[in-house]
Structure 1
């Protein structure tokens, strides 16, 4: 819990909508999980939020990530090499007695974990495919289908997602990575908010670096 005697801070416990379904999920402080979100074996850092109807499985999400409605993280990979792509081959227990879940297929899915850095914005309806790594500060456009890794502080969009532009010049991005503001204590973040709101990125870095 945040220090309740300090009027600057709210309750730091995760806020989870009652309709959300969570299993084997670890949420950071001040995180939010919206209406009808479904998460399985997901970790999410402080201040990260999932808007309504998101789905995620086998994923690690950093701090301060903004995940819009209807995003799918680690979309299901069907076994195209088998006789059928239907789930009857890997979840036959849903149809037949004495036929269990295909443990090898599940292990294959678990091995293709998605990794999302800090301060990542994933737009409405985007789909992130298995085993993808998204770097710090990246932006994923609405309805994008991410099939390749996304470098830090880049903006991608489309199906499949392609580089649109850099969010910041490479030198600025490198300075932001070194600053690692997402690891700052809450007290320091509180003090920095007016400068976040009013200063240009270079002025902010010059003031807060070191």
Structure 2
């Protein structure tokens, strides 16, 4: 990772807006959490950012992810098999004395973690349902409701989300997965920025594959 004294880089410490609410959260270097974001039991890798009014719980987010505003990651499920779906059945302590939290239901929720790979873009207002896995390089369209796993380097949209098209041809996606550029040292990424900006994906791979 970048040396904090290297003048090529900004301060690598995570940037957290004062209105954000974080509990049990681990953030990587250069990560950013914007206004009124709520995160609980979430890990987020280096360079990833999440925009205003988004929420996430029980999730692992990779590096270089771009998460737009009003996104919901691991949307709360309710126990439909019980007499009532209301939270009175799993958080009765909010209404009655001497009635505790249903830790069994909480454990069920915690077991359905969401996994988001590296270089994933999640559009405005998208909802990621419990237990979903999103592969590296995927794109989630605005207002999509993701109810099934998303393959790497694919674009999905809609409610429920469906495949729109691959982001790149399969051969390019495979080479990008092998390149794993998100694991490069920050110094290497710094050097690659001009090529990221100017070269086609084919030319970039030809130059940087090792």
Whether the TM-score (by the shorter chain) exceeds 0.5 is yes
Structural mapping, 1:101-180, within 5 Å: 101-180=101-180
* 1:156 alignment partner, SS class: strand
Partner residue, 1:59: 59
Alignment partner of 1:78 is 2:65: no
On the 8 A contact 2:4/2:12 being kept in 1, the answer is no
On the 8 A contact 1:61/1:117 being kept in 2, the answer is yes
Number of residue pairs aligned between Structure 1 and Structure 2: 210
In the TM superposition, residue 3 of structure 1 has moved relative to its aligned partner by 3.1
- Cα distance in 2 for residues equivalent to 1:127 and 1:38: 14
In the TM superposition, residue 7 of structure 1 has moved relative to its aligned partner by 1.7
* 1:52 alignment partner, SS class: coil
Change (3 A) 1:206 1:159: same
Could you tell me which runs of 5 or more consecutive residues in structure 2 were left unpaired when the two chains were aligned: none
- Cα distance in 2 for residues equivalent to 1:42 and 1:68: 16
- Cα distance in 2 for residues equivalent to 1:105 and 1:99: 14
* 1:93 alignment partner, SS class: helix
Alignment partner of 1:93 is 2:102: no
TM-score by length of 2: 0.99
Could you tell me which runs of 5 or more consecutive residues in structure 1 were left unpaired when the two chains were aligned: none
On the 8 A contact 1:2/1:11 being kept in 2, the answer is no
TM-score by length of 1: 0.99
Alignment partner of 1:26 is 2:43: no
In the TM superposition, residue 22 of structure 1 has moved relative to its aligned partner by 0.2
Partner residue, 1:11: 11
